[in-house]
Every structure is written in C-alpha cells, then in structure tokens.
Amino acid sequence: MQAQRYEIKYIVPESITYAVRSFISSHLALDEFASQSKDCSYRIHSIYLDSDDLYTYHAFRQGDRNRFKLRIRFYDENPESPAFLELKRRHKEIIQKTRCTVSKAALMDVLAGDTRSLKTKDLPSHAGFYQMMHQISASPRAKVSYYREAWQSRDDNAVRVTIDREVCAEPCFDLNMVVAMVNPVLVFGRNAVIELKFTNRAPNWILELIRMFNLVQTGGPKYAGGIRLIGEQHFAGQRSSVRNSENTQ
C-alpha cells in the first residue's frame, strides 16, 4: 500500500518540460526505470475498468471528492512480466493507491477471485480492488498509454515528479496485454502532464517550481479526458464481463 499523499497536476506545453527537468534534477533523481532509458522515459499502458454506465467517469465529471478508479497496468507484452491491479482512491485532497502484482497468465483467475497465485503481501490490495470492481460490476472500458519521465527523492519516494507525454486513449473491452493501439486520440494534444506528488507538506523548492514556470493547476484526467474527446457512447453500455474475456497471453 502506498502512503497517503497529495497530487497536483498541470497541463503544460511540452516545450517547457525540458527546462522543468533541468530544475528538478538538482532536487530529485530519475527512478529506476527512467534511469535505464536513453530519453529518460518509459512507456506505461493501462486498461481502465468501469461500469456499464461509466460510474467512475461520472464521479470525476461531477467533482466527487470521494471517488476511485480501477485500472490494470502493464509495461510490455512479455508474458513473463507482471501486470498490476491498481485501485486509486481520492478522499478530498488525499490520494491513496494500492497495487497488487499479478502474473499475466493468472490475471483472469485472479480477477475471478482465485488468489492462490498471489503473494501474501498482495492479498489486501487484491481484496480492495476485487471489492470495488464487483461493487460497480466493472469491466474493461479504455486503454491509455503514454511516455513517463519520473523523478523521486533520492532516499525514498516522499516526493515524486512525473512528466507524461503523448497521452493516448481509445475504447478497449478486453484484457489482452498488447501495447499496440487501433485508433487512439491524443488526450492533451502535444501538451504534457506534470504531476507533483508528495506526502505531508510540499518542499519549498516545489513552490519555487510552480512560481518559476507559472504553473496553473488544471488537472490531467487521462481516462476521463479520453472519454470526453471520443464520446461516452463509445465506452458505455453492456459489455462482456472480465470473467468471460479472453486473455491471449
């Protein structure tokens, strides 16, 4: 379970992100994945789950201060690499995320409630995800993909800054762990999403970062933004249950 934290998002022209990188590099270090990449970024793919009437999407649109979202995250098509069940909750200004590691081969069984393949430490996270998934009868609705540049505190992850570029989204109603997209839209055009994440209070240098680059908080809803651009009718309605979806991995 991730510690409770604050998250502030900004949509900015991609042209300023390199100056932002220069600024934050004196305070944070690239995370283990970004540090292995030549361009300081790595690809993230997520399949978002929602109800037939798009419960979590409408909770966002209505400004519900106590909401959640369900997604399955993966990083490549390697059948041996894991997927992650992520439940992200918001309570007013506080964000809490739980993450359960699942083998791709066991994904369908785990979503159906079979936890025999899970490690003990992942059981509480699975229980939370499973409960919320069934509470709203959620099934796959959308795939979201983007390049992430991630910086974090050198000794821990108490402070983390991410820069997400080329955020793409499209309808998706199955759980196939493929990275290719059929007809995606660029959710924010050629703009990037900067997220400032910290526990307790923001360090003074983050306040200086906001002032220096004139950052104005606007939010950066990747899933909801994709639905808004493409149209609710392309995501809503009765679809096959996750228990009946076929996983080709």
Domain annotation covers residue 43:
yes
Dihedral over Cα of 11, 17, 19, 21: its sign: positive
The Cα–Cα gap between 74 and 85 comes to 9
Domain annotation covers residue 239:
no
Domain annotation covers residue 245:
no
Q: How many CA atoms lie within 13 Å of 122's alpha carbon, on the beta-carbon side?
A: 19
Domain that holds residue 118: 6-234
Beta strand 42-50 pairing with 29-30 = unpaired
Domain annotation covers residue 248:
no
What's the pLDDT at 208? 97
What's the pLDDT at 3? 57
What's the pLDDT at 154? 87
Domain annotation covers residue 63:
yes
157: CATH: 3.20.100.30
For residues 48-53, give the mean pLDDT: 98
Across 62-86, b (16+ Cβ under 10 Å) vs e yields eeeeebbbbbbbbbeeeeeeebbbb
The Cα–Cα gap between 166 and 203 comes to 28
What's the pLDDT at 246? 43
**In 3D, which of 101, 97, 107, 105 has the Cα closest to residue 122?**
101
Asked if residues 12 and 192 have their Cβ atoms less than 8 Å apart, the reply is: yes
Domain annotation covers residue 246:
no
Q: 174 by DSSP, 3-state: which?
A: coil
Q: How confident is the model at residue 96 (pLDDT cuts 50, 70, 90)?
A: very high
Domain annotation covers residue 135:
yes
* Pairwise pLDDT comparison (240 vs 118), residue with the higher score: 118
For residues 150-173, give the mean pLDDT: 94
What's the pLDDT at 159? 94
Query: What φ, ψ does residue 34 adopt, rounded to 5°?
Result: -65, -35
What's the pLDDT at 240? 65
Q: Would the pTM of this model clear 0.95, i.e. be above it? A: no
Domain annotation covers residue 241:
no
Question: Domain tally for the chain?
Answer: 1
Question: Mean of the per-residue pLDDT values for the chain?
Answer: 93
